[in-house]
Every structure is written in structure tokens, then in C-alpha cells.
Amino acid sequence: MAEGQDLSELNADEAHLASLGYTQELQRSWSGFSNFAISFSIISILAGCFTSFGLGWNNGGPAAIAWGWPIVSVFILVIGLCMSELVSAYPTSGGIYWWASKLGGAKAGYYTGWLNLIGLIAIVASVAYGCATFLDLTLGTFSQSWLDGYSLTRVFVIFVIILAIAAVVNIFSSNLLAIINNISVWWHVFGAAAVIVILAFVPSHHASVSDVFAKTVNNSGIFSGATSGVGWLFFLLPISAILTQYTITGYDASAHLSEETHSAADGAAKGIWRSIFYSAIGGWILLLAFLFAVQDSDGVSKGGGAVSVIFAQAMSSGWVGTVLLISTAGQFFCAMACMTSSSRMLYAFSRDRAVPGHRLWSSLNAKKVPANGVILSAVIAAIITLPALVQVDINGAPVPVAFFAVVSIGVVGLYLAFAVPIYYRWKAGDEFQVGSWNLRGHHTWLAPVALVEIIVTSIIALFPTSLGGMPWDPSFEWKFVNYTPLLVGGVLILLWIYWHVSVKKWFTGPIKQVTTAGRSAA
């Protein structure tokens, strides 16, 4: 810890960080492209578009996916632009939490930090579990005798192994992670392009334009399977938007890695909005390729809306295995990037003593990596996914209700966290000191649009996704429940109690490690 540090002794990034109250502890080895790469990798159209496709198919069908993706993507880009302006002004690993604390005070920062942390760990869990599922499918495609069929227990074991590998890779080196994320970008670009080409030319038949853009589906059992009416339009159809909202998330990683990025005020800002923009375009093309490859929509519904069913209908097992392998590798890259983002947020939040056991989670190993934080992220991710061990069938098809619940937890946690600093920046108006990348005054209308979208999406993510998940229905069983409201709500209640009993007496928000000579720290 250094007091009265002279800014003239530091480079531009270190000086900016010092002005925010922190010393340069993490290794600043990431380029602007690497910063973009990690957000692009976490968004991962090879993960979200494949693993959460069933949410769109079962709750709206092809039309909901084809039209919903570009519409929702525009609103997510608005959120990203607002966050880009914030990270340019405050490029710290605390990211969302730090912005909320700076603009809204310690209480705002406290709740924002926990929501962000919950969301990030849930994203780690969902991506790693999706990767395990697709690895299992891939192995089963190449070997029909793969351990005698599908097994939830086997998938969960694979999931834990993937978490462990991602943790080990994260602990090894920040330099190695940057290299892996650079490779991941090109894997996602060329891998997605390869999948699109395969689905365009290998199937002997393709769905019609009307099948893709006009056909609707309701496999949830809600509203007796109706695909029209007020209930379908305002309750069921919006659930399909979680496909887009979940896939295009995690881009706050650019903020969490800003202390490790050169020229972070510009590079991290561009990393956020560019990762959203390019993922939105690539993801839409990829999803349209899925939809046009459908041979039998009823067969897809009977298979729970899984993309693997589409591939099996349209192609031979060799081609199916190739597509699944491309996706699985992309999901593995994504899982490693998610682990990085989660551990850096935990490190920054613990650095400011907001997490029990903060000394342990904020400590760095010899390679300047928060290894304990990485391990904790992996362990909690495994714990919250334990319900995935319970078999759930809806309308005769296996449906990963627990996976979709973890997806929703990630969406609610992250986007509510995003909303807090966006609101306070909007409230600050012209008093907000912008960074080198800014919205040039357009925050006046972009911020409220972003806030409305976040509120609507967060409410939708709490909806039950099947009739059996509704407590008032005779078919109700706990295994069908979207446990997002229970987990997020329960954690918020505990945090509220913890705040009033203890935290408010000692927590003051981000702790300054340094003060700068001739200039007060923010």
C-alpha cells in the first residue's frame, strides 16, 4: 500500500487506476483485442445458442427465435453501450460493483456486488453444465455404445471435471488465459461459420421461410398448449427471449479484466459493445441455420426442443458429431473465460472486504492470479447445479429444468446488477465525469431504455417454464420448479439481514489502497 504516490512515476493505465484508489497488483498483460476476446468468448454463440435453444423452441417456436433474437439483441446493445461509458470512466476489476458504489454509495455497491457475483457464478455453472451435456452427446454420437445411453449422473461428473479443468487453467497463468481467449475468438468465428455451412449444404431438405418465420410452438403445457391469446402472448412467449438474454450476457468481463488490459479506458469500453454487436449478428445467422435445417418440427418438440434432434434429423451421425464437437469446444473455451470473470469479480469485491473470508479470496498466488477465488467459484457453481441430478420429463421429453433455472439465475443476477450503475449514471446527468469513450450525451435516452428492458427481462426470468412448476396446478412437483425466485430471493433476504445486523456498521464501499500526490483519489 502506498500513500501519496506520484502519478508522474506511473504509466497512463497505472495512473488512472491510482486515481481510483488502487495499486497495480494484477499483471497488465492483456491487449484490447484480448479484452474483447474474453467477452466474446463468454457470450459464446457456440454455447448459448446450442444449450438454451429449447427455451426458445418450447416457449414460442421458430417464429419466436427468428424474430425475437434480433429484437432483444438491440436492447442488449443499448445496455452494453451504457456500460461501455461506465467502464471507460472507471476501469477497475470491481466493474459493476465499483461503479454502483462510486455513483450510488456503499449500500448500492453492496447489493450490486452480490447480484453480480451470484450472476457470474451461475453463468459459470450453466456454461460448464451445457459443455458437459454436449460432450456427452458428442461421445455418444461417435460411439453408439457410449456407456449404455444417457446418464444424468455421468453428465454431472463430466460437469465437475470441466469445472476442475477450467479452475486449473485459470490458476496457471494470466498470459495463458489471454492466449486461450484469443484462440477462442477465432474458434467461435470459424466454428460458427463451419456449422452454418454444414447446415446449409449437407441436409437434403430445408424448412420453408414460413416454417421459420411464422410457425409457433407451445410445449410447456401452459394454457393447454395454445399458441395465441393474451396469456400466450404476455406470459409464455416472453420466456423465449431468455434464449437471447442468456446467450448475450457476461460481457461485463471486459470490465472485470480492465486492470489487466492495456489502454483500458478505451479497450475495455470497445470490448463490451463490440462483443455484443458481433455476437448478435453471428448468433442470428447461426440460429436461422438451425431453424432452416429442421426436417420435422413435431419430432423436435418430442425431443424437448434440443438442437441435437435437429442435427440428427438432417444429417448423418458423422456430420452431427462434427457440429457437436465444434460447439463443445467453444463451450469449454467459454467456461474458462466465465471462470476468469467470476474470480476477478470475487477478488475485487473481497479486496474491499465485502465478502466473508475476504483475505482468502483477495489473495494472489505467485503468478498474480486469485487462485482461492477461482476454486471457490468452481465449488459454488457445482453446488447450485446439484438439482440437475433429478430426472425431469415434460410431455414425455427430457427437459433440463435445473439447467434452465441456473440460466435464469445468471440472467437475473447479472442484469439487475447492471441496472444499478446505469440508473445512477443516468441520475448524475452532466455531473458524471466521462472517460475517453462516452455516449456524447445520448445517455439521456439510452439509460431509461436499458433500465426498462432489464426490469422486464428480470421478471420474465422468474416465470415457471412448465405447468408442473406452478404451485397451484394439480401436476405440481418440486422437480419442475424454476428455483430462480427461491435462490435469488433467499440470498437477497439474507443479504438484507446481514446488511442491517452488521455490514452497514463497517462497510464503506471500495477501499482506497493509494492516494495520489497532487490529485485526490476517486
DSSP letter assigned to residue 283: H
pLDDT, the chain, mean? 88
Give pLDDT tens digits for 195-224: 999 999 999 999 999 999 999 999 988 888
Q: Is the pLDDT of residue 519 over 60?
A: no
**Residue 17 near residue 510 (C-beta atoms within 8 A):** no
Q: How far apart are CA 335 and CA 43, in angstroms?
A: 10
Please name the amino acid found at residue 105.
Answer: G
% of the chain with per-residue pLDDT over 70: 93
3-state secondary structure string, 398-412? ECCHHHHHHHHHHHH
The pLDDT value given to residue 335: 92
Q: Between 3 and 136, whose confidence is greater?
A: 136
In whole angstroms, what is the distance from residue 115 CA to residue 97 CA? Answer: 9
Contact 320, 311 (CB under 8 A): yes
pTM of the model: 0.87
Burial of 210 (0-12, 13-18, 19+ CB in 10 A): exposed
Q: What is the pLDDT of residue 241?
A: 93
- pLDDT-based confidence at residue 521 (cuts at 50, 70, 90): very low
Domains of the chain with bracketed CATH? 2-431+444-516 (1.20.1740.10)
Please give the grid coordinates belonging to residue 393: 420429463
Contacts by residues 472-480 (CB-CB < 8 Å, ≥ 24 positions apart): 475/221, 479/387, 479/390, 479/391, 479/392, 479/401, 480/392, 480/394, 480/401
The DSSP-derived string for 329-376 is HHHHHHHHHHHHHHHHHHHHHHHTT-STTHHHHT---TTS--HHHHHH
What is the rounded distance in angstroms from the CA atom of residue 116 to the CA atom of residue 415?
8
Contact 260, 370 (CB under 8 A): no
Instruction: Output the pLDDT for position 399.
Output: 65
Evaluate whether 217 touches 297 at the Cβ level (below 8 Å).
Answer: yes
Q: Does pLDDT of 62 surpass 70?
A: yes
Q: Answer with the residue of higher pLDDT: 211 or 141.
A: 211
Judge whether 237 and 71 are in contact, CB under 8 Å. no
The three three-digit cell numbers of residue 359, written as one number: 483475505
Stretch 221-247: mean pLDDT = 90
pLDDT above 90 for 125: yes
Q: What is the pLDDT of residue 174?
A: 66
